[in-house]
Chains A and B, each alone.
Chain A
Amino acid sequence: MAERTVIPFGPQHPVLPEPVHLDLVIEDERVIEAIPQIGFIHRGLEKLVQKLDYQSFVSVTERICGICAFGHSLGYSETIEVLMGVEVPPRAEVLRVIWHELSRIHSHLLWLGLLADGFGFENLFMQCWRLRERVLGIFEQTTGGRVILNACNVGGVNRDISNEDLRGIVLILDAMRDEYQVLLKTFLKDRSVANRLRGIGILPKEKAREYGVVGPFARASGIAEDIRSFGYGGYGLLHAFEPILSEECDGYARCKVRAEEVLQSMDIVAELVEKIPDGALSAKVKGSPAAGSRAVSRLEQPRGECFYYAKGNGTKYLERFRIRTPSSDNLAGMVHTLQGCDLADVPMNILTIDPCVSCTER
C-alpha cells in the first residue's frame, strides 16, 4: 500500500503564468485529490465602484484581466446601458463585436501557445505567438494599445474603424488563416500532441452539467451552450451561429474546440465587416443610475459565460458591481479532472481548462 504524500504545486511554477496554489494529495504517482487555494491576485477591485464614477470605472474593468480586457469593458458597459436604458447605435454594437472577436482570436492563440509550451513543443508555442502578434498589430493600429484597448465606453465606442480599414483587417485575417491552417493540422493531427492530450482529464457530460462548467470547457464535453447564439448586440446581424462542440470530453477535445473557434471568430469578423451599418458611434449618456435600480447582463468571454450585475443608488457612483467569471465556474470541473490523473499530467489538466486567475480573484 502506497503512502499518501501532499505535494504543493505553485504559486510560482514554470507552467503557470499566474499564481494559483494546489495541494496535490498523491499516492505513488497518482493524484487522489487536489485542493486549490486562491487569493494571490485578489485586489478588491469591485469595491472601487464606490470611489470612481460609473463612467471612469470602464477603464478599471478593462484591467480585471489583460487577456479578456476588451470583453470586460464591453460587459460592464452593457450592464450600465441596461441599468440606465441607453440605446447603443448599431455601428458601435458591430464595432464592439469585431474587437471582441479579435480578442477571442488573440486569447485562443495565446492559450494554444501556452498549451504547446506545456507539453514541450517549443516551436509550436513560438509559431502561435508569432501569429498572435498580427492581431495585436490590428489592435495597435485601431486603438493605440496592444493589450488594454480603452475603446469601449458606456453608450458606445470612442474610436471608429473606417470601412477601408475594416476591409484591411479582413485581408490580414485571411492571410493569417492560411498560416493558421498549418498550425491547426499540427494540433489536431500530430501524434506527439495526441499522445499528451487524448484521454487526459476526462469530464463526462453529466459531470460537466453537475459542476456547471461553461465556455469551451463545457462545449468540449458536449454541452451546446454559447451566449453568442442568443444573438445579442452585433451578433444579431449574423445569418447563423452554431457553437462548436465535441463529444470526446478530454483535453484533446478542449484543444480542438478552441482551435476551431479561432476560425469561427475569423468568419464572424469577415461577415460583420460586410454588413456593418454607418452611423453614430456613441449615444449620449446623462444622469446617474436611479436609486435601487438593478441590471444584469451576460457575455461570452473567450473562457466562457461571464455574468455582470450592477446596482445603482441615485448618485454617479454605483452601489454594487459584481462579476461571476468563467474561470471561477470552471474551477470545480478542473479539480474533478485532476482526481486520478498522473502527477506528470497535472500541468496539462490545468492548462486545458484555460484558467484565468486574475479574472477569478479580481
Chain B
Amino acid sequence: MSESVKSPWVLHYDASSCNGCDIEVLAALTPLYDVERFGIINTGNPKHADLFLITGSVNERQVPIIRQLYEQMLEPKIVIACGICACTGGVFKECYNTLGGVDVAIPVDVYAPGCAIRPETIIDAVVEGLGILEEKRRLLAAGSLEPAELPKQPSAADKPVRGETVAAAWQKAIANALQTAGQEEQ
C-alpha cells in the first residue's frame, strides 16, 4: 500500500451545488465523523490532491474550470461525484442552465448518491475510491496506466428536452450524426 492510499488528500470543488453537499463534505472532516484521523486532509491545491470530491451539477461556465482542476491533479487520481446532482443533475436536471452530472465534463470513478449526501456515504465512497486509487498506482508503477479520456465538450443542445420520447431523441441524434458525416465527406 502506498502513502497516497494511506493518507489521501482531498480537493473539494463546488460545481454548482446548493451548499447542502458541500457542508456535508466539510462535516465529514470535522469532529463528529472526523476523517482527518485517517490522514484525509482537505487541501486547496490541486497538485497536492489525490481525491477530487466534486459536488453539484455542471453548467457551461463551470466546465473549463473543472477540467483545469482535473488536469492539474497528478496521476494517480480519483474523481468522486458527491450527491445526486453531481451524479446525474438531480433535481436541477431540467433547469435551462444545467448540463447534467459531473461526468459530462470529466471522467468519474465513484458515484455517491444522496440529497444532501450523508457524511457516511462520502466515507464509503472514499473507501471505494481508495481501492481504485491503489489499482491505478500499481498500473502507473508498471507503466501501463492509460489516462482517462475527457468527454467531448458538452453543450446545452445535447440535453434531452422534457417530454421528448426516447425514439425522438434517437432520431435527433442519428440526424445530427448523418449531418456531421456529410459535412466531413464534403
Contacts and interface: CB of A to CB of B under 8 A. Distances in A.
Interface of A: 11-14, 17-19, 39-45, 47-48, 51, 59-60, 63-67, 69, 110, 113, 125-126, 129-130, 133, 136, 145-148, 356, 358
Contacts of B96: 44, 47
A259 B56 CA distance: 30
A42 B59 contact: yes
Nearest to B85: A63
19 contacts: A12-B46, A12-B65, A13-B44, A17-B14, A42-B16, A42-B59, A42-B61, A43-B97, A47-B95, A60-B91, A63-B91, A126-B31, A129-B27, A133-B27, A133-B30, A146-B24, A146-B118, A147-B20, A147-B24
Contact of A43 (B31, B46, B98): B98
**Interface pairs A-B: 6 shortest CB-CB:** A66-B20, A14-B44, A129-B30, A66-B19, A44-B97, A130-B31
A interface, by DSSP: helix, strand, loop or mixed?
A: loop
Contacts of A19: 13-14, 62, 65
A38 B43 CA distance: 24
Contacts of A69: 18, 20
Contact of B162 (A18, A51, A113, A145): A51
Interface in B94-119: 94-98, 115-116, 118
Interface in B133-170: 162
Contacts of B22: 17-18, 66
B30 A51 contact: no
A61 to B, nearest CB: 10
Interface string B16-34: 1111111110110011100
B23 A110 contact: yes
Contacts of B116: 66, 145-148
Instruction: Tell me if B's interface is mostly helix, strand, loop or mixed.
Output: loop
A125 B43 CA distance: 16
Given A41-B14, A66-B116, A130-B30, A356 B94 contact: no
B33 to A, nearest CB: 9
Contact size range, B:
35 or more
B152 to A, nearest CB: 22
B69 interface: yes
A129 B26 contact: yes
A63 B26 contact: no
B23 A66 contact: yes
Contact of B59 (A13, A43, A126, A146): A43
A66 B21 contact: yes
Contact of B19 (A18, A47, A129): A18
Interface in B1-55: 13-14, 16-24, 26-27, 30-32, 43-44, 46
B88 interface: no
Given A11-B65, A66-B23, A146-B118, 10 more contacts: A43-B95, A44-B98, A47-B96, A48-B95, A59-B91, A63-B91, A64-B18, A125-B30, A129-B31, A358-B19
A65 B26 contact: no
A133 B91 contact: no
Contacts of A42: 16, 59, 61, 97
